Amino acid sequence: MMQKTIDRLLIFLSIFLIWELCTHTFSILDPFLFPSPEKVAQLLVEDSEVFRKSFTSSIYLLTSGLILALLTAIPLGLLVGWQRRLHQAVEPLTNLLGPIPPIVYIPYTIALLPTFTLSSIFVIFIGAFWPLFINTVAGVQAVEKGLIDSARTLGVSRWTMLTRVLLPGALPHILSGGSISLVLAFILLTAAEMIGATSGLGWYVKYFSDFADYPRVVAGILVIGIVVLLLMTVYRQVSSYLLRWRTSG
Amino acid sequence: MEALLQLEAVSLAYGNSASNRLVLSDVTVDVKEGEFITVVGPSGCGKSSTIGLLAGLLTPTSGTIRLQGTPITGPGPDRAVVFQDYSLFPWMTALDNIHFALQQVRKATREEALQYLHLVGLSEAKEKYPGELSGGMRQRVAIARAFAVDAPVYLMDEPFGAVDAKNRIYLQDLLLRLWKTGEHSKTIFLVTHDIDEALYLGDRIIIFTPSPGRIRRIVEVPFTRPRTRAYLVHDPAYIQLRNEILSLLQDDLIGELELVEGGSGI
């Protein structure tokens, strides 16, 4: 445990050291394209208010799209996974629409929807929808038949079957689909922001690269990395809490 | 007195018309109210399918099954089922599993559910998930859940099949105790592959032939209750009955083996 921490610190330190040596100390790399760690750190502080605003704006788009996806993909996935006939009916459609890279929707939705906010939310929603939907369907189908029989012998209603048996039974699959959705949603968010936004983390990077302000670009990329890391950490915590029953003793 | 459960010429086949496999053939038996029926037979004889039919999870291909005179058309709260595995929902705690089952039949508090957990001596494990319990403990919770529902009929599909010998004895005695407690008389239909278990628990033993399952014989178990294991195993009548059932099962297996050998041309 201790060894692991030391190893990780060493990796971070050596990368930082190489960065520092190549930029600030020996100026091996072009300072115009490669800012020193000090410069980046200074910008992180200097622009902290801009970053805070960008973060808020990005999180708003991200959560709106994700919540929309959660509210539609999971109920639909439960129904489609449960009803064999429905599943057979929609499977070709899923196979056609599912694999379309959601990024290609961006120009079209910008033309289609009145505001940039709406079109980014829509693209994030589409991107997050499919992994969640497909995994919910698979999750329902993976629920042990014995558990479904057990529920049937208790005389559960359809609603109870869906919410108290199939939903928790499919949860391991749903959550692994959800982590794909989260990553995809973030990619789409930043892509959309780089195309048409006037705020947000993706906008920050794109905006300053237009001015060739590469120190700010690097700082922005770093912030995005940290935000994704934080989101994924929170997601993992929530997942393992929801699946706490799976830790068999 | 009219029988509580009536199976009348029940047959069950799996698959479609092109390729169907007969699992049960022409099973007819009447079960009286309050009776403890045990079922033994070689594996694949349709013992478990019988439970599925009685539970209403399967529909007979021909014949009828009646409970209190009414044909069984699906699962219902008048029959509680205990399976060998997968009775409990792994995402609910022991207490929640019982509470959930109770709520399907009536409004119930968690305190009420706890009483049933207490009945099987597991009140301290109420917040544990099934994955954190041993196989024996899981079956205790499953039995508690079944008795919480307070159904007139209990269907058990090898409930102690995956439990070690010591726990099995404990669970058998627990089951006998619960069978006789409560206001209503309870009828139990228990499938097992253990002849001693069938003899120790049952009023009557239904012996099945290998697939397709037919009733080979129904044996009355003459021993008075409460039965004592230590006493039974030394009773010549017990040993004789046990051997008789054993040889019935073995005859069928040998018959089946010869059939296969004959078919292969040896």
- pTM: predicted TM-score of the whole model, two decimal places: 0.88
Residue B252 domain flag:
yes
Residue B254 domain flag:
yes
- Return the residue of B nearest to A159 by Cα: B104
The pLDDT tens digits for B246-259 are 998 887 777 666 66
Residue B263 has pLDDT above 60, yes or no: no
* Domain A51-241 = CATH 1.10.3720.10: yes
Residue B102 domain flag:
no
Residue A143 has pLDDT above 50, yes or no: yes
Main-chain dihedrals φ then ψ at residue A248, nearest 5 degrees? -80, 135
Main-chain dihedrals φ then ψ at residue B80, nearest 5 degrees? -100, 140
Task: Report the number of distinct structural domains present in chain B.
Answer: 1
Residue A82 has pLDDT above 90, yes or no: yes
B113: nearest Cα among B98, B91, B126, B100 = B98
Residue B264 has pLDDT above 60, yes or no: no
Cβ(A202)–Cβ(A189) below 8 Å? yes
Main-chain dihedrals φ then ψ at residue B29, nearest 5 degrees? -160, 145
Question: Which chain B residues contact residue A248 at CB under 8 A?
Answer: 131-132
pLDDT mean across residues, chain B? 89
Contact (CB<8Å) A150/B87: yes
pLDDT (average), residues B104-129? 92
pLDDT of residue A178: 97
The pLDDT tens digits for B176-206 are 998 988 777 899 999 998 999 999 999 999 9
Residue B44 domain flag:
yes
pLDDT of residue B139: 92
pLDDT of residue B257: 65
Q: If you search the block for the tokens 């059939």, which residue do you land on?
A: B259
Residue B169 domain flag:
no
pLDDT of residue B211: 76
pLDDT (average), residues B157-163? 89
Confidence of residue B261 (pLDDT cuts 50, 70, 90): low
Residue A171 has pLDDT above 70, yes or no: yes
- Return the residue of B nearest to A146 by Cα: B86
Helix (H) or strand (E) holding A141: helix A116-141
Residue B232 domain flag:
yes
Residue B125 domain flag:
no
Helix (H) or strand (E) holding A4: helix A2-20
Which CATH number characterizes residue B49's domain?
Answer: 3.40.50.300
Question: By residue range, what is the domain housing residue B223?
Answer: 5-78+184-264
Do the strands B215-220 and B70-71 form a parallel or antiparallel pair, or are they unpaired? unpaired
Confidence of residue B161 (pLDDT cuts 50, 70, 90): confident
pLDDT-above-70 percentage for chain B: 93
Residue B137 domain flag:
no
pLDDT (average), residues B39-53? 88
Window A:132-191, CB contacts with B under 8 Å: 144, 146-147, 149-156, 160, 164-165, 168-169, 171
> What distance in Å separates the CA atoms of residue B211 and residue B13, rounded to the nearest whole number?
11
